[in-house]
Chains A and B, each alone.
Chain A
Amino acid sequence: MSELLRRLLFLPRQASTLASRVDDIHFFIILTTFVVGAGIGLTGFVFLLRYRRRQAHALTPHIEAPAWLEGLYISVPLAFFLLWGALGYRDYVWARTPPADALDVYVMGKQWMWKFAYPDGPGEVGVLHVPAGRPVRVLITSRDVIHSFYVPAFRLKMDALPGRYTETWFEAVRPGRYPVLCAEYCGVDHSRMRAEVVVLAPEAFEAWRARHKTQPAPGPGQVPELAMGVGARGPLAEQGRVVATRMGCFQCHTVDGTPHIGPTWRGLYLRDEPLASGGHIRADVAYLTESMMDPQAKLVAGFEPVMPSFQGRLSAADVAALVEYIQSLRPERPVPPAAQEPRYEPRAR
C-alpha cells in the first residue's frame, strides 16, 4: 500500500529512517484530503443538479446555520489538523535530536559547492561518505550566503547559515548514492550546487576511512609551513603565504606535494598540466592568474570544477604575492607526476 502510494506520488525511494516517518504522515494527510475533497466535490455536484435555477425570480427559504453545525464545521477539521500537527511534531522533534552515539560530519555550504569533513579526517568536496545503519550527526554552516542541505531520498533538509551552526541527523538504511541539492536560493549557480552522499556498508566505510585518515589535510586553522628545502622565500612570497592563508587556499591546495582537492602548489609553477578539455598548458603567471579569476576556464585534468572565482576578492597586489609564493615552491627534486589525485569513488560491491 505505502509502496504504491510512494510511486503514485513520485516520492524517491526511502533511504533513511526519517523517510518512512515523513512519508507516513504525508500519506495520512493526502488520503484524508482526497476523501474530504471528494465529499465536498460530490456535495457541490449534487447541489448543482438538485438546486439549479429553474425560474428567474425564484425566492429561496432563509436558512441560518444552527450553532451545533457551525461547531461541527470547526471541530472536525480542527481535530484532524491538530492530530497531524502532533504526529508531525513528534517526528520533527525526533528528527532534530541526534542520538548520542552519532558519527559527526561537518558540512559547509559555499557558492557553489558542498564541502564535507570529519573531525579527525580529511575533507571532501562534493561527496560525503557515510556508513549505513549508523546515525550520522550533520553540523552545517555556510561560508557566504544561506544554503540549504537537502537530501530528497532521506527527506532531510537543514539550512546552512553563515555565522552559525545548525545540526540535523540521519541514519541511512542501505548503501547507495543519493543526490544532495541546495534548497535555498544562493545565486547564479544555485541549481548547480549539487553533491552526493555515498552510503557504504559499515565495513566498506571503515576501510575507506582508514585509508583516508592517513592523508594529512590541513584544516582551516592549520597553516602549512613552507615545504622544507624548497625555493627561496622573499618578503613577497611570505606575503603570498599570508594571503593564501587568509583566503583559505590551503583547504584545497597543499604545498608539500600531497594530492588534495586542487592541484598541489609544490612545483606547480611552469609545470605542464594536462587539461580536462584535452591538451596541455604551462602553468605560467598568466595561467595562474587566470585560474584565480576564472578557475573553470582551463581546468586541470583529474580535478572537479569546484574552485570558486576570486574575481574581485583578490587585489592586484594579492595576486602578485600569491604568484610569487607559488613560484617559490619549486622543488629541487623531480616533479611528481601530476593529477594522481584521490578519486573518491565508492568501491564496487
Chain B
Amino acid sequence: MSLARAEPTMPEEHYLNSERGLWSWLTTQDHKRVGVMFLVAVLLMFLLGGCYALALRLELLTPEETVMGRLAYNRAFTVHGVVMVWLFLIPSIPTAFGNFLLPLMIGARDVAFPRLNLASFYLYVLGAALTLWAMLQGGVDTGWTFYTPYSTATGTDVMPVLLGVFVVGFSTIITGLNFITTVHTMRAPGVGWMRLPLFVWAIYGTSIIQVLATPVLGMVLVLVALERVAGVGLFDPARGGDPLLYQHLFWFYSHPAVYIMILPGMGVISEAVSVFSRKNPFSYRVLVWSTVGIAFVGFLTWGHHMFVSGQSTFGAGAFSVLSMLVAIFTALKIFTWLSTMYRGSIWVCTPFVYVLGFIFLLFFGGMSGVAVAVTSADLHWHDTYFVVAHFHFIMVGASLMAFLGALHYWFPKMFGRRYPEGLGVGTAVLIIFGFIATFLPQFLLGNQGMPRRYADYPEHFQPLHVASTAGASLLGFGFLIVAIYLGWALLHGAAAGRNPWESRGFEWYSASPPPESNFHEPPAFPHGPHDYARPGIEPEVGHAL
C-alpha cells in the first residue's frame, strides 16, 4: 500500500515549534502540548509499572523466593497495581489522545478551559510524585485496592499513597469536566451530536463516568485516612464499623473505573476500524448508545466483586444480572466492528493489527468477565489467577492495544512523521502474541486454584508460571522495539503529510502537526466523520498561523 499523496514537507510552523524552550512547554495552554506532556508522563509511568511487572513475573518463576522476599513482593505488586491503574491506564488515552484530538475533532480552537487543562497536568504530576515518593520511602503493601481493615492495620506508610491517588483523582475530575464542557459548547457549526466522531463520543462517555465516580473514590480514601489517623471506626468491627462498607464504596468507583480504562479504547477502535476498512461504521447509533449504556450500567455492577464476601444471596444474583448487561453492550460493539469490515476496503497496517488484537483480547476478556459474573462459577474463580488473567486481558490487553493503536494511528498527526510500517506490523504481532502467552496460562492457573498475590506457591503451579514469565519477557521485548523505532521516527521519520491514512476523520483536516490554535475560524466539515461512500472533498480549512 503506498502512502497516498504524502506531502513531502511538514508545515513550516506548527504547535511543536511555534514557541521554543522548556518554559514555553511548562506554561503552555495549548491542548496539543498538554496532550503531549501527558503522553510523555503516562509513558514513563507505563515503563515503571512494566519494570515492576517483569520483576514480579521473575519472582514467580520458582515456587520459593527467586529475586525478592515476601514483603518486597507485596510492596512490588502494590506499586505495579497503583502505578498501572491510577497513573497509566485511567489517564492514558483520555489525557494524552483526548486532549490532543478532541478539539481538532470537533473543529474547536482549544478545550473549554485551557488553564484548567494545564492545572490538571500539574495535579497529575503532583499526585504521581506523592505516590511514588511514598513507594520509594519504603513502600506500601496493601495492593492497589487498599482493602480495610488491612490498609488501616498495616505498619507500612499508606497515607502518602492515599493522598497521591486522591490528588490524581482531582486531575481526572477536572479533565472530565473540561471535556464535557468542550463537547457541549465548542462544536463547529454542523457538528451535531449524531455527527460527532466516535472517539469523541467515547471520551464524552468516559468523562461522565470520571466526573460522577471519582468523587466517591476521593471520599473513600479520606475515610481510610480518617480511620488510620483518628481511628473513627468506620471499617473496624471492634469499634462498630463494617469491613464490607469499604468494599462497597471502593468498587462503586473502581468498577466504573474499568470502563474509564476501556471506553476510550473502544472509541479508538471505532475510529480505526472505520478508517482502515474505508467504510462507515455498520451502525453509528449502536456504537454511540452502547457507549452511553456502558457509562450508565457500569455504575450498577460493583457488587460482583463481592460474591464470596458474605453479601446477601439476592444481592449477588442482582449484581450478576446487571453485570451481564454491560457485557451485552460490549458484544454489540464487537459485532458492529466486525460488520463494519463487510464490503470495506481493508488495509492491514500497524494500527489495524492492534485493532485485531484489541478485538481478540476484548472478546476473551469480556467473555471471561461474564464467566466470573456467573455467581456459582465465581465461587471457584474469585481472587484467583483466572481473575488476574481476565482483568489483564480486558483492562490491560485491550486498553494497551487501543493505546498502541492510537499511538500509531495518530503519530503522523501529532508529530508529522511516519514510522517504519513493516517494523510496526511485525512488532504488533509480537506484542499480541507475547500478551497471550503471558496471560493465557494464568486462566489455567486460576482454574488450578492459584490465588492472587502469592509471593510463593505450592509446586504444582510452577509450569504455568514459567510459561507466563516467558510470555512476559516476549512482551517486554516487543515494547522495547516499539520505543526504539518510534523514538527514531520522532527524529528521522519521513514527513507524513496532512492525511497519510486517507481518513475522513475531522482531525485530519488540519495540518500535521497542527498549527498552534488549530483553526482560524470554525471549519465547515463537508461530510460526516466516517463517510467513505462519496469521493473526498478537499476541505476549505483556514489554518491559523
- Residues in A lying within 8 Å of B, measured CB to CB: 9-12, 18, 21-22, 25-26, 29-30, 33, 36-37, 40-41, 43-44, 47-48, 51-65, 69-70, 73-74, 77-78, 81-82, 84-85, 87-93, 95-96, 144-146, 148, 150, 152-153, 155-159, 161-164, 166, 179, 181-192, 194
Q: Are B335 and A51 in contact (CB under 8 A)?
A: no
B356 CB to closest chain A CB (Å) equals 7
Which B-chain residue is minimally distant from A153 (CB atoms)?
B449
24 contacts between A and B (CB under 8 A): A9-B444, A11-B448, A25-B377, A40-B338, A51-B343, A57-B502, A60-B532, A73-B332, A77-B327, A85-B324, A88-B320, A88-B375, A91-B376, A92-B376, A146-B147, A148-B308, A162-B149, A162-B238, A163-B236, A163-B242, A183-B383, A190-B74, A191-B451, A191-B457
* The stretch of B30-38, B178-186, B197-205, B366-374 that contacts the partner chain: B366-374
Which A-chain residue is minimally distant from B2 (CB atoms)?
A56
**In the complex, what distance in Å separates the CA atom of A345 from the CA atom of B246?**
40
A56 CB to closest chain B CB (Å) equals 5
Q: Are A21 and B376 in contact (CB under 8 A)?
A: yes
Any chain A CB within 8 A of the CB of B25?
no
A10, A29, A84, A91, most chain B CB atoms within 10 A: A10
Question: Which chain B residues lie closer than 8 Å to A36 at the CB level?
Answer: 367
**In the complex, what distance in Å separates the CA atom of A54 from the CA atom of B2?**
11
Q: Are A152 and B380 in contact (CB under 8 A)?
A: yes
Which A-chain residue is minimally distant from B370 (CB atoms)?
A81
Question: Which chain B residues lie closer than 8 Å to A65 at the CB level?
Answer: 282-283, 286, 336, 339
Q: Are A56 and B532 in contact (CB under 8 A)?
A: no
Q: Which 4 A-B pairs have the closest CB atoms?
A: A163-B237, A152-B449, A88-B374, A91-B376
The digit string for B362-403, where 1 denotes a CB below 8 A from any CB of A, is: 011001101101111111101110000000000000000000
The digit string for B313-325, where 1 denotes a CB below 8 A from any CB of A, is: 1001100110010
Q: Given A25-B376, A85-B324, answer yes or no on A162-B383 (Cβ-Cβ < 8 Å).
A: no
A308 CB to closest chain B CB (Å) equals 13
Choice from A47, A146, A179, A183 contacting B382 with Cβ under 8 Å: A183
Which B-chain residue is minimally distant from A186 (CB atoms)?
B150
Q: Are B317 and A56 in contact (CB under 8 A)?
A: no
Q: A11-B448, A92-B307, A163-B238 are in contact. List 19 more A-B contacts (CB 8 A).
A: A10-B448, A47-B338, A60-B279, A69-B339, A77-B331, A78-B324, A82-B321, A88-B320, A92-B316, A144-B149, A145-B153, A155-B380, A159-B309, A161-B237, A161-B309, A162-B237, A179-B449, A185-B150, A185-B452
Choice from A10, A47, A157, A179 contacting B383 with Cβ under 8 Å: A157
Question: Which chain A residues lie closer than 8 Å to B536 at the CB level?
Answer: 57
* The stretch of B121-129, B158-166, B209-217, B344-352 that contacts the partner chain: B344-352
Q: Are A64 and B150 in contact (CB under 8 A)?
A: no
**In the complex, what distance in Å separates the CA atom of A30 from the CA atom of B236?**
40
Question: Which chain B residues lie closer than 8 Å to A166 at the CB level?
Answer: 309-310
**In the complex, what distance in Å separates the CA atom of A221 from the CA atom of B242?**
24
Q: Are B356 and A44 in contact (CB under 8 A)?
A: yes
Choice from A10, A30, A53 contacting B278 with Cβ under 8 Å: A53
Q: Are A85 and B374 in contact (CB under 8 A)?
A: yes
Q: Are A22 and B376 in contact (CB under 8 A)?
A: yes
Any chain A CB within 8 A of the CB of B4?
yes
A25, A36, A162, most chain B CB atoms within 10 A: A162
Q: Are A70 and B451 in contact (CB under 8 A)?
A: no
Which A-chain residue is minimally distant from B240 (CB atoms)?
A163
Question: Which chain B residues lie closer than 8 Å to A157 at the CB level?
Answer: 308, 379-380, 382-383
Q: Are A74 and B363 in contact (CB under 8 A)?
A: no
- Which B residues between 517 and 538 are near A, CB-CB below 8 angstroms? 531-536
Q: Given A22-B377, A77-B327, answer yes or no on A96-B313 (Cβ-Cβ < 8 Å).
A: yes
Question: Which chain B residues lie closer than 8 Å to A163 at the CB level?
Answer: 236-238, 241-243
The digit string for B487-528, where 1 denotes a CB below 8 A from any CB of A, is: 000000000000000100000000000000000000000000
Number of interface residues of B (CB under 8 A): 96
- Which B residues between 214 and 229 are near A, CB-CB below 8 angstroms? none
Q: Are A47 and B313 in contact (CB under 8 A)?
A: no
**In the complex, what distance in Å separates the CA atom of A72 from the CA atom of B243?**
43
Q: Are A74 and B532 in contact (CB under 8 A)?
A: no
Q: Are B237 and A29 in contact (CB under 8 A)?
A: no
Q: Given A12-B448, A164-B310, answer yes or no on A156-B364 (Cβ-Cβ < 8 Å).
A: no
Any chain A CB within 8 A of the CB of B458?
yes
Any chain A CB within 8 A of the CB of B295?
no
Q: Are B4 and A57 in contact (CB under 8 A)?
A: yes
Q: Given A146-B150, A192-B456, answer yes or no on A43-B374 (Cβ-Cβ < 8 Å).
A: no
Any chain A CB within 8 A of the CB of B27?
no
Q: Are A156 and B328 in contact (CB under 8 A)?
A: no
Any chain A CB within 8 A of the CB of B486?
no
Q: Are A74 and B328 in contact (CB under 8 A)?
A: yes
Any chain A CB within 8 A of the CB of B11?
no
A120 CB to closest chain B CB (Å) equals 25
Question: Which chain A residues lie closer than 8 Å to B449 at the CB level?
Answer: 12, 150, 152-153, 179, 181
**In the complex, what distance in Å separates the CA atom of A56 from the CA atom of B3?**
9
**In the complex, what distance in Å separates the CA atom of A183 from the CA atom of B378?**
12
Q: Are B343 and A92 in contact (CB under 8 A)?
A: no
B249 CB to closest chain A CB (Å) equals 15
Question: Which chain A residues lie closer than 8 Å to B532 at the CB level?
Answer: 59-60
Question: Which chain B residues lie closer than 8 Å to A191 at the CB level?
Answer: 70, 451, 453-457
Any chain A CB within 8 A of the CB of B1?
yes
Any chain A CB within 8 A of the CB of B342?
yes
Any chain A CB within 8 A of the CB of B359?
yes
Question: Which chain A residues lie closer than 8 Å to B384 at the CB level?
Answer: 183
B143, B344, B445, B451, most chain A CB atoms within 10 A: B451
Q: Given A10-B464, A185-B452, A191-B453, answer yes or no on A92-B141 (Cβ-Cβ < 8 Å).
A: no
Any chain A CB within 8 A of the CB of B277?
yes
**In the complex, what distance in Å separates the CA atom of A186 from the CA atom of B464?**
24
Q: Are A183 and B451 in contact (CB under 8 A)?
A: yes
Any chain A CB within 8 A of the CB of B24?
no
Q: Are A78 and B328 in contact (CB under 8 A)?
A: yes
Question: Which chain B residues lie closer than 8 Å to A159 at the CB level?
Answer: 308-310
Which A-chain residue is minimally distant from B340 (CB atoms)?
A63
Which B-chain residue is minimally distant from A159 (CB atoms)?
B309
Which A-chain residue is minimally distant from B463 (CB atoms)?
A10
Q: Are A89 and B237 in contact (CB under 8 A)?
A: no
A22, A69, A187, most chain B CB atoms within 10 A: A187
Which A-chain residue is minimally distant from B375 (CB atoms)?
A92
Question: Which chain A residues lie closer than 8 Å to B339 at the CB level?
Answer: 65, 69
A93 CB to closest chain B CB (Å) equals 6
**In the complex, what distance in Å separates the CA atom of A37 from the CA atom of B338?**
12
**In the complex, what distance in Å separates the CA atom of A164 from the CA atom of B533?**
64
Any chain A CB within 8 A of the CB of B447?
yes
Any chain A CB within 8 A of the CB of B18?
no
Q: Given A48-B346, A91-B376, A163-B243, answer yes or no on A81-B328 (Cβ-Cβ < 8 Å).
A: yes
Q: Are B338 and A56 in contact (CB under 8 A)?
A: no
